Structure 1
Amino acid sequence: MNTLLHPTYFPSISHFVAMSQADSIIYEIEDNFQKQTNRNRTYIYSPNGILLLNIPVKHSKDNHQKTKDIQVDTDFDWQKQHYKSLETAYKSSPFFEFFEDDIRPFFEKKHKFLLDLNFETLEIISKCMRVKFESTKTTEYIQQDNTDLILDYRFLADGKKDPSSFERYMQVFEDKHGFINNLSVLDLIFNEGKFTLDYLKNQKLALK
């Protein structure tokens, strides 16, 4: 079945569970931007626990600005901050060095549009997983009453609405803070490496 998703920033594990179990993926790109969602944020496991990585964006006076028109605010050196946070969090993980060269270049370039940036993070993760996901993009916003033949997982872009709980895997700072569920898929990749896809295919998503 086709699965409908928002492209988000280094998406959550639940996002990739949905992708890994889909026949094909439809990316919703005609939506209005919503603040405080994973469209421009992700969560990792730092030495102090959960850490939010947020991408600053330029806000318009128009409250109905489409996500595809949202521009990244380049006045902030967020790339350097995010990559340093990833290094601190995962440099001692089993697979950080293995994937470091695939991920670092992303943080060394400037991005104008948030949507392009998010799609690039999806491509990076797909490359790390060595899998190609079949996907298309919407040409108009898909209303919820028109999703009978589609698994609508757009709500996963709002972590507060995502009730999914997944099987434990080893995490770097688990001895300090315990297992933390459903972080960015980066957490899974740095800790599980080549076993990431198998893990994702064996998980179950909770419906909203």
Structure 2
Amino acid sequence: MNVILHPTYFPNIAHFVAIANAKHVAFEVDDNFLKQTYRNRTYIYGANGKLALNIPVIHSQKNRQKYRDVKIFNEENWQNLHWKSLLSAYRTSPFFEYYEDELQPLFEVKADYILDFNLKCFDVICDCLQLELEASKTEIFQKSIENKTDYRYLVNAKKEASHKFEPYTQVFSNKHGHIPNLSILDLLFNEGPNALNYLESQTLIRL
């Protein structure tokens, strides 16, 4: 199966179920940047429940701005904040230390563009998952896609489908229960080397 979807900030489980079960992944990089999406947001499981991590971006004064052209607002020390949040949430998880050295550099080196940073994070996660993937980037935006399963709707944080993924053990599940479809980081830190098997065994609801 060939799929098309957006590169997002540490993609959620739904994104990675689509990716792990695909033969080829095309990343949509020629669309306009929209607010309130997973392009610059991910959710983790904190001590108080679901926690959003947002990357601040510089919005153009123009009505439309290409995703590939959006810059990160690095005047805020967001990387340090996000890493501290991950430490607080997952330092007691079974596999945090296993992947810590691969992930920490992402929060130490400044990145200029949100798209480039998301793709870099994606590459690191694929290494952690030991997921070998054929991937490409779009060259023009097409509203209607042929020969690919269109999962671009998954980028919209407000119009999320009710995916029925199997629950797995989470650090704070005894406090707040299972929280579905969080960042791939949640699955990785809790399931470790079994994460890829989990992703390949799940079914995604298509809209």
Q: Same fold, TM exceeding 0.5?
A: yes
Query: Unaligned stretches of 5+ in structure 2?
Result: none
- Match of 2:202? 203
- Match of 1:45? 45
Report the TM-score when normalising by structure 1: 0.97
Shift of 1:134: 0.5
1:124 counterpart letter in structure 2? V
- Match of 2:148? 150
**Mean Cα deviation higher: 74-83 or 131-140:** 131-140
Match of 1:43, SS?
strand
After TM superposition, list the pairs within 5 Å mapping 1:60-139 onto structure 2. 60-139=60-139
Task: Describe the superposition over 1:25-69 as per-residue Cα deviations: whole angstroms up to 9, x where unpaired.
Answer: 000100000001000000000000000000000010112100000
How far apart are the structure 2 equivalents of 1:59 and 1:136? 26
- Match of 1:166? 165
2:195 counterpart letter in structure 1? T
2:56 counterpart letter in structure 1? P
| Greater than 3 Å deviation, 4+ residue runs | none
How far apart are the structure 2 equivalents of 1:165 and 1:110? 36
Shift of 1:123: 0.5
2:126 counterpart letter in structure 1? S
How far apart are the structure 2 equivalents of 1:103 and 1:110? 14
Equivalent pairs: percent with the same residue?
Answer: 49
1:200 counterpart letter in structure 2? L
- Match of 2:177? 178
Report the TM-score when normalising by structure 2: 0.98
How far apart are the structure 2 equivalents of 1:63 and 1:56? 18
How far apart are the structure 2 equivalents of 1:143 and 1:98? 41
Are the equivalent residues in 1 in contact too, given 2:44–2:182 (CA < 8 A)? yes
- Match of 1:23? 23
Instruction: State the number of aligned residues.
Output: 206
How far apart are the structure 1 equivalents of 2:117 and 2:182? 19
Are the equivalent residues in 1 in contact too, given 2:13–2:181 (CA < 8 A)? yes
Shift of 1:161: 2.1
How far apart are the structure 2 equivalents of 1:60 and 1:26? 26
Match of 1:53, SS?
strand
How far apart are the structure 1 equivalents of 2:199 and 2:158? 21
1:40 counterpart letter in structure 2? N
Are the equivalent residues in 1 in contact too, given 2:20–2:131 (CA < 8 A)? no
Shift of 1:7: 0.3
How far apart are the structure 1 equivalents of 2:203 and 2:50? 23
| Aligned-CA RMSD value | 0.7
